Amino acid sequence: MELLYTGIIGVARTLFKVQGLDITVRGERHFPAVGGAVVVINHTGYFDFVYAGLPARVHKRFIRYMAKAEVFDHPVAGPIMRELKHIPVDRTAGRGSFEEAVNRLRAGELVGVFPEATISRSFEIKGFKSGAVRMAAEAGVPILPVTIWGSQRVWTKGLPKNMVRPGVPILMEVGEPVQATGPVDACTEDLRSRMQATLERLQDEYARRYGPYPEGATWVPARLGGSAPTLEEATALDDAEHEERMRRRERRDR
State yes or no: pLDDT of 105 exceeds 80.
yes
Q: How far is CA 163 from CA 46, 206, 221, in A?
A: 11, 21, 21
Which residue in 3, 27, 104, 16 sits closest to 63, CA to CA?
104
Q: Is the pLDDT of residue 205 over 70?
A: yes
Give the tens place of pLDDT for each residue, 120-131: 999 999 999 999
The per-residue pLDDT for range 133-192, each reduced to its tens digit, is 999 999 999 999 999 999 999 999 999 999 999 999 999 999 999 999 999 999 999 999
Region for residue 26 given its phi and psi (left: phi exceeds 0; alpha: psi -120 to 50; beta: otherwise): beta
d(CA 128, CA 201): 20
31-47 as b/e, with b when 16 or more CB fall inside 10 Å? bbeeebbbbbbbbbbeb
- Angstrom distance (rounded) from CA 82 to CA 71: 10
- Within 8 A by CB and 6+ apart from 175, the residues are 27, 30, 144, 145, 146, 147, 194, 195, 198
Tell me the whole-structure pTM to 2 decimals.
0.94
Confidence of residue 92 (pLDDT cuts 50, 70, 90): low
Give Cβ neighbours of residue 249 (< 8 Å, ≥ 6 apart): none
Selected residue with higher pLDDT from 244 and 154: 154
pLDDT, tens only, 3-38: 999 999 999 999 999 999 999 999 999 999 999 999
Q: Which value, in Å, is the radius of gyration of the alpha carbons in the chain?
A: 18
